[in-house]
């Protein structure tokens, strides 16, 4: 298995994994609930630079010539700036442009993690998280954070096993999430 930075050409293959990871948040970010349109719009954002969903913020795990998993992560200090193009696009499309604040400050934020179900149980999610954690260390960012949906206790257990702990609860797109922290 190889972990590498995503490329614009990966957008169409990455979009379904992003959708699987963020569920209802995908509707907020794309301004639609039609799955085909959601996937098209996610791919559009993935293929563009300088936004939350950009290939610039995505690492992919490749196995057997296939993208087996993805992780989206970026500096918390950049979160508002990375949301701005999406917010503007949504407002131009007649949507509110309201996006929930998911992170901020001197942290490296794991926005999303997903592993294709056919590659489950191989430790790919853990390897992606460890890769991003090493990236944060190399950038001298002292903390890695993420939000885990409270309806996904298996994911919370994985993050706890990796050293994350719950700091607070937040709401994102109407769902309850635990904001978890890993001190580096």
- 52 burial via Cβ count (<10 Å: 0-12, 13-18, 19+): buried
Does 96 have pLDDT greater than 90? no
Q: What is the full DSSP assignment across 70-106?
A: EEEEEEGGGHHHHHHHHHHHHHHTTS---------SS
Domain spans in the chain, listed from the N-terminal domain onward: 2-183
Does 173 have pLDDT greater than 90? no
Choices 1.20.58.220, 3.50.50.60, 3.90.1640.10, 3.40.630.30: CATH for 2-183: 3.40.630.30
**Which tens digits make up the pLDDT trace of 58-93?**
999 999 899 999 999 999 999 999 999 999 999 999
181/160 Cα distance (integer angstroms) = 9
The predicted structure's pLDDT at residue 101: 87
What number is the average pLDDT over the span 91-110? 92
The model's confidence at residue 98, banded by pLDDT at 50, 70 and 90, is confident
What number is the average pLDDT over the span 7-14? 98
The predicted structure's pLDDT at residue 24: 86
Q: How many CB atoms lie within 10 A of CB 84?
A: 15
High-pLDDT (> 70) share of the chain, %: 100
Strands (E), the chain: 2-5, 58-63, 66-75, 108-115, 143-149, 165-172, 175-183
């Amino acid at each position: 298995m190889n972990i590498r930075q995503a490329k614009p050409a990966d957008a169409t293959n990455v979009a379904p994994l992003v959708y699987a990871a963020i569920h209802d948040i995908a509707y907020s970010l794309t301004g639609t609930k039609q799955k085909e349109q959601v996937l098209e719009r996610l791919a559009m954002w993935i293929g563009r630079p300088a936004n939350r969903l950009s290939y610039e913020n995505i690492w992919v795990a490749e196995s057997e010539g296939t993208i087996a998993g993805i992780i989206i992560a970026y500096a918390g200090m950049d979160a508002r700036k990375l949301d701005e193009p999406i917010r503007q696009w949504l407002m131009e499309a007649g949507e509110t442009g309201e996006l929930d604040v998911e992170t901020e400050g001197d942290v490296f934020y794991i926005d999303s993690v997903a592993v294709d179900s056919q590659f489950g149980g191989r430790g790919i999610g853990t390897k992606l998280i460890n890769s991003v954690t090493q990236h944060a260390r190399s950038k001298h960012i002292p903390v890695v954070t993420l939000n885990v949906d409270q309806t996904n206790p298996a994911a919370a257990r994985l993050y706890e096993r990796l050293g994350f702990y719950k700091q607070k609860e937040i709401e994102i797109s109407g769902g309850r999430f635990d904001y978890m922290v890993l001190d580096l």
